[in-house]
Amino acid sequence: MNWHQQPKEKLEHILQVTAGTGLDHGQAKARLKQVGPNTLEEKKKVPGWLLFLNQFQDTMILILLGATAISAALGEYIDAITIIFIVIMNGILGFIQENKAEKSLDALKELASPTITVRRNGQWKTIPSMEAVPGDIVKLTGGDKVSADIRLLEANGLTAEESALTGESFPVQKTADVLNEDDISIGEKQNMVFAGTLITKGYATGVIVATGMKTEMGKIAHLLSSSEKNETPLQRRLAHLGTMLITGALILTGLVVVLGIMQGQPMYKMFLSGVSLAVAAIPEGLPAIVTVVLALGVQRMIKRNAIVRQLPAVETLGCASVICSDKTGTLTQNKMKVTALWDGSGLSLRKPKKSFQKTKNEKLLTYGALCTQITVDSTHSQTAANSDMKGDPTENALLEAAASCGIELNMLLSNHKVERDFPFDSERKRMSVLVKNKKGESFIITKGAPDILLERASHIDTNGRIERLSTYKKNEVKQTIGYMANKALRTIAVAYRPLKAGETINSADAAERNLIFLGVEGMIDPPRQEAKDAIMECRQAGIKTIMITGDHKDTAAAIARDIGLLPEYGLVITGKEWNQATDKEKQKLMQRAYVFARVSPEDKLNIVNVLKKQGHIVAMTGDGVNDAPALKSADIGIAMGKTGTDVAKEASALILRDDNFSTIRSAIKEGRNIYENIRKFIRYMLASNVGEILVMLFAVMLGMPLPLVAIQILWINLITDGLPAMALGLDQPENNVMKRPPRSAKESIFARGMGWKIISRGFLIGCVTLLGFMTALHEQPNDLIRAQTIAFSTLVMAQLIHVFDCRTNQTIFDRNPFENKYLTAAVLSSIFLLLLVIYTPMLQPIFHTTPLSAMEWALVLALASIPTFALAGKTLFRQTNVRKAKAS
Ligand code: ATP
């Protein structure tokens, strides 16, 4: 269908809808049922059974199964069945982990799902884009992401960025006019916008002509990089590490097998033990646990209102060294109320719960209320403004101030018609409307940052008397702005200009000149109390907070001081000052910069780049279309969930559901903790594996019998690697996570002494296990099963004690070991599984075990404690010595 050639009436006819009222709920429901949800079909999901089977794809597991088949052929049925049982249990565990990871990631996708504003039963309603259907009448404004193919019915200064479809990144102008050309490309269909593209500016209404896979985007969806992997740098590094670990483990186990055979051990037994050892020593669960820990961490972040859009951000968050934050709504409450008015005749202050004097301030309040997006939208929507209409808090405050004096919006709208508008943008810092009153007089009203409006005004209106704006008067206005700003008030000036007969206005620039200055409205926007604590905590964590705002220098400084962001020596820099500085000066200024005021989105990008050049990892907030480049360029772009545009969200790695600064702090804390938890279980798993390999290697080197049989090795792998490692990944943060500086992004996973800890603990675990085995053999040389049971128990217990040590970078005594309930439960279940195979008479022959006496348990526990407690003792001893040395 050539939608672009159809006139409005034809479109309404084909799509069975009336533009003025939209679809009714019943129609929409029926169409949704007929055409399906407005989503792009995703790559076919891996079914559960396949995910389960995938667990056995691992080469080592396949070799093990091969070895098991050989043992079955040799008549060792019980061995074979047990190995298969353990392998299946391992597979189930892996399946649960991967399934959980996938489910959590899916849940994240749903959270970030977009919305669309449609007209249903005559009312504008915001619904999930998924529910939009062909025939829906929709409203689009600058910053929206288009979620269906739409033929425009009305367009006002609309531009769209269609690079996702056409590759052209420069925004194109759109119109609602019918196009006659027959066969034209997507890029030429100027009266249509397409799913997946972005509205950069303007306002439009239109009718949906295609949804889901029927859209132009849907048609090429299969060409898109649907296989795009959301992997973090750490996951990539771990994949690399995995290959090294596998090689290392294979070489060592190969050595064990060769030495064993040379010592005269039976070949078949050595082969089975070797393969089991390789299966145990290769941390095959590592990638899945990393994903689960990341995904669960991300879910915890959601509970704290931070939505992660890109998984790598979780890691980068932990490295953040600077947060560049917006002021309004993020550091302040965005609950604005006009408390001061100034017009030519002087200042009026509003007492709490009182209104201003209508007679004195009527014109300022009226014009302030008329020049708002709500009046514009009410005009466009051809319905009277209704209380559901949500405006920007700044504008709501202006409307409320007017309404409190009886100047109601509906009354204003019945007496005036907004004929054109030039919407607010943070570059111009002002907006204008062209209004016609009942007498037929047309005039421009502009409102915006007072310093900027002053530059565009030539006259001033004092109680209806219009005079030239003298330098004296200008200074009076500036003093007033300064007075209000120092009281942390946000200031908005209002100005106007009657249009001459026949004058046409083609651009914002033409509208906003030779203005008559009317006055200034000052509004409070109380700081968020929680921001104060968050800024302090970030400072302790070595993270600098910088405020970047479009607001006035003094207002910004007053609020920054109030929330403890601006230290005595800190600088407040305006966008103008920043742009005048040379690159070298900028580097220097940045050292002491804490507040950037009256900046434009372009300056934001420059600030990010200077910070990055200084080696910072930058988190940057933003909400508008123009913020997108800065958000993309920052290491962690953070969009506002409530006030942010789709464009800003699209460019970000993180979305703050509550727009609150303290949420960033929580996300950083969580990011740091997730990374530490990953380090914790890697440390635990690798030290355990080193211990397992070494005990076998030492034994064959010393010409001793094998301390563990194949099934014991596999059982150890099952009960110590699975649940305890997962539980470590869910550990609570240490008290000092936010008391140490951010880690370097280039830091190795083994940094800060972890490599040494893995090797030393692993070595000791191997040694004590061997010692237990040798002691038992020395006492009763003929009872190999007893010695093996002691070795088996010592190895398991040493790992289960060591797991508590892994919770901290200090010693086991520095944290309450039982604080992590999951870990305690996992360890108890592992102990139970150990006792089960030692004390169940039926299982004893299968696992080659025998019950141990109390004395033997005392030996096992004493030996198993050594790796953890001996080294903790050593650290404590050293700390005491350092303390003593400091004291003396
Ligand atoms: P932040 O960037 O921290 O959110 P901000 O909201 O003050 O701060 P902008 O939204 O860019 O930054 O606003 C800059 C200035 O523009 C404000 O100080 C105000 O004077 C003016 N302004 C803000 N909103 C409007 C509006 N809706 N209409 C006209 N002028 C506005």
**Residue bearing the CA closest to ligand 1, atom 12:** 550
Q: CB of 395 closer than 6 A to ligand 1? A: yes
Give the model's confidence band at 385: pLDDT under 50 very low, under 70 low, under 90 confident, else very high: very low
Q: Are residues 504 and 549 in the same domain?
A: no
Residue to substitute in 141, 325, 328 for testing ligand 1 pocket (most ligand atoms within 8 angstroms of CB): 328
Least confident of 67-76, 576-585, 767-776, 840-849: 67-76
* CA–centroid distance, residue 56 to ligand 1 (Å): 59
* CA–centroid distance, residue 402 to ligand 1 (Å): 19
* CA–centroid distance, residue 505 to ligand 1 (Å): 24
Q: What is the pLDDT of residues 344-359, one digit of tens each?
A: 888 888 887 777 777 7
Residue 738 in any domain: the answer is no
**Residue bearing the CA closest to ligand 1, atom 2:** 549
pTM for the whole structure? 0.83
According to the model, what pLDDT value does residue 339 have?
93
pLDDT at 223 over 80: no
**Residue bearing the CA closest to ligand 1, atom 18:** 551
* CA–centroid distance, residue 450 to ligand 1 (Å): 11
Q: Which residue has the tokens 């079955």?
A: 72
Which residues are CB-contacts of 114 (< 8 A; sequence separation ≥ 6)? 128, 129, 145, 147, 646
pLDDT at 784 over 90: yes
According to the model, what pLDDT value does residue 225 have?
40
CA distance 205 to 382: 12
Q: Are residues 774 and 681 in the same domain?
A: yes
Q: CB of 391 closer than 6 A to ligand 1? A: no
Percent of the chain with pLDDT over 90: 50
Q: For residues 161-191, b (16+ Cβ closer than 10 Å) or e, as one string?
A: bbebbbeeeebbebebeebeeeeeeeeebbb
**Residue bearing the CA closest to ligand 1, atom 25:** 448
CATH of the domain at 216: 2.70.150.10
Which residues are CB-contacts of 37 (< 8 A; sequence separation ≥ 6)? 130, 131, 212
* CA–centroid distance, residue 425 to ligand 1 (Å): 8
Give the model's confidence band at 454: pLDDT under 50 very low, under 70 low, under 90 confident, else very high: very high
Q: Which atom of ligand 1 is nearest to the CA of 325?
A: 3
Residue 743 in any domain: the answer is no
Q: Which atom of ligand 1 is nearest to the CA of 447?
A: 29
CA distance 746 to 628: 26
Q: What is the pLDDT of residues 159-191, one digit of tens each?
A: 998 887 887 778 899 999 999 888 888 888 999
Q: CB of 394 closer than 6 A to ligand 1? A: yes
Q: Are residues 172 and 210 in the same domain?
A: yes
pLDDT at 380 over 80: no
CA distance 169 to 651: 14
pLDDT at 132 over 90: yes
Q: What is the pLDDT of residues 577-620, one digit of tens each?
A: 999 999 999 999 999 999 999 998 889 999 999 999 999 999 99
Residue 94 in any domain: the answer is no
**Residue bearing the CA closest to ligand 1, atom 30:** 448
Residue 90 in any domain: the answer is no
Q: Are residues 123 and 216 in the same domain?
A: yes
Residue 164 in any domain: the answer is yes
CATH of the domain at 880: 1.20.1110.10
Q: CB of 392 closer than 6 A to ligand 1? A: yes
Domain that holds residue 217: 3-40+117-224
Q: Are residues 362 and 500 in the same domain?
A: yes
According to the model, what pLDDT value does residue 800 have?
96
CA distance 62 to 60: 5
Q: Are residues 134 and 244 in the same domain?
A: no
The answer to whether the beta carbons of residues 653 and 310 sit under 8 Å apart is: yes
Query: Could you tell me which residues are beta bridge partners of residue 459?
Result: 468, 516
Last residue within a domain, chosen from 207, 224, 241: 224
Last residue within a domain, chosen from 505, 524, 543: 524
**From edge to edge, which strands make up the β-sheet containing 636-640?**
306-308, 654-656, 636-640, 618-622, 322-325, 544-548, 593-597, 571-574
Q: Are residues 643 and 547 in the same domain?
A: yes
**Residue bearing the CA closest to ligand 1, atom 13:** 550
Q: Which atom of ligand 1 is nearest to the CA of 371?
A: 28
35: left (phi over 0), alpha (psi -120 to 50) or beta: alpha
Q: What is the pLDDT of residues 242-277, one digit of tens each?
A: 788 888 888 988 898 899 899 888 888 888 888 888
Q: Which residues are catalytic?
A: 326
CATH of the domain at 360: 3.40.1110.10
Give the pairing type, strands 172-173 and 137-141.
unpaired
**Residue bearing the CA closest to ligand 1, atom 24:** 394
* CA–centroid distance, residue 140 to ligand 1 (Å): 22
Percent of the chain with pLDDT over 70: 94
Q: Which atom of ligand 1 is nearest to the CA of 448?
A: 30
**Residue bearing the CA closest to ligand 1, atom 9:** 550
575 closest CA partner among 614, 606, 544: 606
Last residue within a domain, chosen from 507, 524, 541: 524
The chain-wide mean pLDDT, for the chain, equals 87
* CA–centroid distance, residue 81 to ligand 1 (Å): 72
Q: Domain count of the chain?
A: 4
**Residue bearing the CA closest to ligand 1, atom 20:** 449
Q: Which atom of ligand 1 is nearest to the CA of 395?
A: 27
Q: Are residues 612 and 639 in the same domain?
A: yes
CA distance 467 to 459: 5
φ and ψ at residue 789, rounded to 5 degrees = -65, -40
* CA–centroid distance, residue 430 to ligand 1 (Å): 8
Give the model's confidence band at 43: pLDDT under 50 very low, under 70 low, under 90 confident, else very high: low
Residue 28 in any domain: the answer is yes
CATH of the domain at 648: 3.40.50.1000
According to the model, what pLDDT value does residue 885 have?
76
Residue to substitute in 324, 334, 392, 551 for testing ligand 1 pocket (most ligand atoms within 8 angstroms of CB): 551
CA distances from residue 217 to 168, 197, 416 in whole angstroms, order as listed: 15, 9, 42
**Residue bearing the CA closest to ligand 1, atom 4:** 328
Q: CB of 473 closer than 6 A to ligand 1? A: no
Q: Is the dihedral of CA 808, 812, 814, 817 positive or negative?
A: positive
* CA–centroid distance, residue 394 to ligand 1 (Å): 8
Q: Which atom of ligand 1 is nearest to the CA of 449?
A: 20
Q: CB of 426 closer than 6 A to ligand 1? A: yes
Which residues are CB-contacts of 867 (< 8 A; sequence separation ≥ 6)? 691, 761, 764, 765, 768, 798, 801, 802
CA distance 499 to 152: 31
SS3 content of the chain, % helix, strand, coil (to 5): 55, 15, 30
Q: Which residue has the tokens 């309930």?
A: 821
685 closest CA partner among 765, 625, 780: 765
Q: Are residues 469 and 430 in the same domain?
A: yes
Which residues are CB-contacts of 607 (< 8 A; sequence separation ≥ 6)? 324, 546, 548, 578, 590, 596, 599, 630
What's the mean pLDDT in 655-671? 93
The answer to whether the beta carbons of residues 603 and 326 sit under 8 Å apart is: no
What's the mean pLDDT in 796-821? 88
Residue 84 in any domain: the answer is no
Q: Are residues 519 and 590 in the same domain?
A: no
Residue 754 in any domain: the answer is yes
Q: Are residues 797 and 878 in the same domain?
A: yes
* CA–centroid distance, residue 550 to ligand 1 (Å): 6
850: left (phi over 0), alpha (psi -120 to 50) or beta: beta
Number of alpha carbons in the 13 Å side-chain half-sphere of residue 319: 20
Q: Are residues 459 and 365 in the same domain?
A: yes
Q: CB of 550 closer than 6 A to ligand 1? A: yes
Q: Which atom of ligand 1 is nearest to the CA of 555?
A: 18
Q: What is the pLDDT of residues 500-548, one digit of tens each?
A: 888 888 888 889 999 999 999 999 999 999 999 999 999 999 999 999 9
Q: CB of 449 closer than 6 A to ligand 1? A: yes
